[in-house]
Structure 1
Amino acid sequence: MIRVLVADDHPIVRAGIAGLLEGEADFAVVAEAESGEQAVELAAAQDPDVVLMDLRMPGMGGVEATRAIAAAGHARVLVFTTYEDDDRILAAIAAGASGYLLKAAPADELAAGVRAVAAGQTVLAPSIAAQLVARAGGTGAGAPDPPRLTAREGEILALVAAGLSNPEIAARLVIGESTVKTHLLHVFEKLGVSDRTRAVTRAMQLRLI
């Protein structure tokens, strides 16, 4: 079972999301939070696999709550919100969110996103990925050259961005899973990041994928 904490300050919205997830055989909604502070407390107390996080809440906002939960290592955070402006997206990802979906997403996309994040994958709504690419304006005059990825590293990172897990990438490319992990470690080092979400975001900003 995938244990989920739903954090949203609107009771009706929160109940609707929880009801939708409870309708899936592999989900268990273990707690609901109406504020960022409560989300942090419940993440520590209930040990969920995924926290479904809205961004605008009273008191501690979703970005701050995401940062606290990610730093504590209690759960992976999937932002689920109506906001799609660049600054909020980048702030949430920088805070440690493993994905960013919009509330306009269909129910099956939300369920798939939760499963993917629980499995350690990166999830970005198509419109969000497009915005991150559009925001990237090149490195600019006098900026250092972007890191160079090998063809294989770029291929693997593109599959990560598409939501594939390491075993799926290994099967797709007919290579060992350990080889995939090694390539990703090299990518992380070149991009100066420590996880898949930031690697995908950074690569999009640099137009490497």
Structure 2
Amino acid sequence: MQRKIRVGVVDDHPLYRDGVVFAVESENDMEVVAQGESANDAYQIALDKSPDVLLLDMNMPGGGINAVAKIALKCPSTRTLMLTVVDGEDEVRSVLRKGARGYLLKGTSSYELANAVRIVSRGQSYVSPSFAAQLIMSRGAEDSDTKEASGMFPELSEREERILLLIHRGLSNRLIGDELGLTEKTVKGYVTTIMEKLHVRNRVEAAMMAAERTSGRKQ
């Protein structure tokens, strides 16, 4: 008899968590081995139960992203799958970089949930088709913007220019760090240098200068 996929479910809303547990338990090839409601619970479940897949809420106490990063580092055999209401592109990219194997919205069907759990349990990644298309289109637009703006800021290094473009897009230092694989402190240092080189007083003025130069190039 084939071994069932062992699943953990962590969400701080009991009613919703019960629904997810019911959906998972309804599948013949899956079983729920543990439940929790916080990032600490998620990490402890990964340590104690070693589920094949751990379903996590993004906004649970302690932070879903923090739980994902810790589990990916300490319990790599447990694959994390985010199930959340957060649908921002930056959040999706950030949590996938931290080690999550999949990302689903809480409005997903039980069929898609079960399919995602199976895919992630095999070591593959799963992102809802609508998310995948959105991320690909966004990445293409970012690459295009980077190429068009290249060389328009001769006073900046290539890395500084990339950070300036992300500031222009409205990203915080933390999200810029996630995008480029840098610490928030390192990004803050780059931002200070960028403002000094551009002779602007704050990141808003830096973003405005970036908008002016890029729009002038496109005309």
Gaps of 5+ in 1: 145-209
Name the SS of the counterpart of 1:110 in structure 2: helix
Q: Does 1:128 align with 2:131?
A: yes
Q: Does 1:36 align with 2:44?
A: no
| Cα offset, 1:102, TM superposition | 1.1
Aligned equivalent of 2:97: 94
* Aligned positions, number: 144
Q: Which amino acid aligns with 1:33?
A: G
Alpha-carbon distance in 2 for matches of 1:106, 1:20: 9
Gaps of 5+ in 2: 152-157, 160-219
Q: Which amino acid aligns with 1:97?
A: A
Scaled by the length of structure 1, the TM-score of the pair is 0.66
- Higher relative contact order (CA closer than 8 Å, sequence separation 6+): 1
| Cα offset, 1:87, TM superposition | 1.7
In the TM superposition, what whole-angstrom CA distance separates every residue of 1:38-90 from its partner, at most 9, and x where no partner exists? Answer: 110111101100001110011x1000000111111140011111111012101
Map residues 112-151 of structure 1 onto 2, 5 A cutoff. 112-136=115-139, 137-138=142-143, 139-140=146-147, 141=150
Name the SS of the counterpart of 1:132 in structure 2: helix
Scaled by the length of structure 2, the TM-score of the pair is 0.63
**Identity across aligned pairs (percent)?**
41
Name the SS of the counterpart of 1:57 in structure 2: coil
Name the SS of the counterpart of 1:65 in structure 2: helix
Query: Which of 56, 71, 78 matches 2:73?
Result: 71
Map residues 60-209 of structure 1 onto 2, 5 A cutoff. 60-72=62-74, 73-136=76-139, 137-138=142-143, 139-140=146-147, 141=150
| Cα offset, 1:134, TM superposition | 2.5
Q: Which amino acid aligns with 1:22?
A: E
Determine which structure has the larger helix proportion and give its number.
Answer: 2
Query: Which of 52, 71, 85 matches 2:55?
Result: 52
User: Does structure 2 conserve the Cα–Cα contact (< 8 Å) formed by 1:76 and 1:117?
Assistant: yes
Alpha-carbon distance in 1 for matches of 2:59, 2:130: 20
Aligned equivalent of 2:13: 10
In the TM superposition, what whole-angstrom CA distance separates every residue of 1:17-48 from its partner, at most 9, and x where no partner exists? Answer: 00110011111100011001111011110110
User: Does structure 2 conserve the Cα–Cα contact (< 8 Å) formed by 1:44 and 1:74?
Assistant: no
| Cα offset, 1:9, TM superposition | 0.7
In the TM superposition, what whole-angstrom CA distance separates every residue of 1:116-166 from its partner, at most 9, and x where no partner exists? Answer: 00011110101211221122221432569xxxxxxxxxxxxxxxxxxxxxx
